[in-house]
A and B are shown apart, each in its own frame.
Chain A
Amino acid sequence: MIKKFLIVTSFLAIGTVASFANTDEKKICTGFGKWTEEGEYKVVRSKCITEKEYEASLNAPDYLCKYYQKSIWKESEREYGKKQYQYTDSSLNKINSLKDEGKTLCDAGKLKEGEAKLVEAIKIISHTRMN
């Protein structure tokens, strides 16, 4: 009976470890590929992180600081951005200054204050026709 119990629990333990190992090793990749004229699919670039790294990034204290900064596009600074998304020079200046202020606060570890500045920049972007 004890032998049977040990066998079952051993299998369960091995299964659990294998399952976690599999989760840790599972990759999340973003990339770009294209079909060649020969009909072959070619990956042009691809960047991978593990599922564990992705989950850690989502739960990191500075996640929103990083996410919001990434969400403020460079495109807003370009000429077509001004035309397509109806930015004014004034709104662009405001976006950039808020982004700089937010980044400075985030880098200094003042995460909530930094996020607040960055959200203000995103609010301006949201009300243009950027997205």
Chain B
Amino acid sequence: MPNINLPAGFSISVFAVVPDARHMAVARNKTTVWIGTRKDKVWQATDRDMDDIADTVEQFAPTVKFDIPNGVCFSDDGHLYVAERNRVLWFPAAEYFMESPDTVAVPIIDQGNLIPVEEESYNHTARVCAVNKADNKLYVSLGQPHNVAPADKLDLYQEVGIGGMISFNRFPGDLDRKVVATGIRNSVGHAFNPKDGSLWFTDNQVDGMGDETPPGELNKMPKMGMWYGHPYTGGGEVRTNEYKGKTIPKADADRYVKPQVEMIAHAADLGMMFYTGKQFPKKYHNAIFSAQHGSWNAVKPRGARVMVTYLDSKGNASKTEPFADGWMTEMGTYLGRPVDVQQYFDGSILVSDDKAGIIYRIKYEG
């Protein structure tokens, strides 16, 4: 167990050992957590005796052949969704059927229909999903497959929602698919603010511009249909080399929203959540917890920590600071790489780590 630094009164422990652990969804009535991977499996970790350690870690829906099932999300009415590279699956009553070897699985978006097949890639295909309580639809992010999207792809991407986010009905029937945001390079974390319904998301920024530029992003979508700068900006308001000097189309510029928070460059900001529990001190209530996976190529290692962003009375970011770090040694080696943060049923938070293959639990006892 790494020596993780936390604010006073908090402690961290291992909740489950889960290979390739990526994004998480916490069950409603059971102490079960579903965990996606960037490989071909979804796991379910269950604390059966309620001692805050998972007693079983099993393959979820083993008869289903998954393809990068990174995004898992669970609705208040008991449905599990899995967003894969190019498909979205619905698992009705997942809490009930999870023990069965032949779980009911229904495609909401069939294989090959989430994005055009020719746009499939290995990179930037870790999808995430969330249910919007306001319209009861599923929101899925679609990372664009390049470092910087080429000009001849932009029309297609705007139409499909690649390099953006889409919404659609979460039950079979009329899909009513809509593109709700564009100009996003590769978002791998989003959540709705329970206070005002605004959608927040992280975005990973352009490589090859420098070790300390451009910044990573935490963004807010005050209303649907906004544009976030890519490929004209590489992160924050830093213009990309590929589009430097090119005029941003007015239709995009008019919908531009700058980041709420500029994170350090190349920290790889991924999963995020709003804290709605009561266990943590009041200063953390409705704050955003987000995971920094860490850089893959920066000379100076960074990230590998959990950040917290506090909001002001208007629902905008007021301050961001590290909440948990220590997954990196002084020798620059990563002991773990945090991917996602989700709230457990008791108000503690879970942190997934796809390097060590662990789900940590952080609790507050004062």
Contact = CB atoms under 8 A, between A and B. Distances in A.
Given A123-B242, A125-B147, A126-B242, A46 B333 contact: yes
A27 B332 CA distance: 9
Given A67-B210, A122-B208, A125-B208, A131 B123 contact: yes
Given A48-B332, A129-B145, A30 B210 contact: no
B332 A54 contact: no
Interface residues on B, range: 20 to 34
A25 B150 CA distance: 44
A129 B146 contact: yes
A29 B147 CA distance: 26
A87 interface: no
A123 B207 CA distance: 11
A33 B331 contact: yes
Interface in B98-138: 121-123
B207 A29 contact: no
A75 to B, nearest CB: 12
A86 B150 CA distance: 13
Contact of A131 (B146, B329, B332): B146
B212 interface: yes
A30 B92 CA distance: 46
B241 interface: yes
B299 interface: yes
Interface in B209-267: 210-212, 240-242
Given A31-B331, A43-B329, A46-B333, A127 B208 contact: no
Nearest to A121: B208
Contacts of B241: 119, 122-123, 126
State the 5 A-B residue pairs at the shortest beta-carbon distance, nearest first. A29-B332, A131-B147, A33-B333, A126-B147, A127-B150
Interface of A: 27-33, 35, 41, 43, 46-48, 54, 57-58, 63-64, 67-68, 71, 84, 119, 122-123, 125-131
Given A30-B332, A119-B241, A130-B146, 9 more contacts: A28-B299, A28-B301, A30-B300, A33-B333, A43-B329, A47-B332, A58-B212, A67-B210, A127-B148
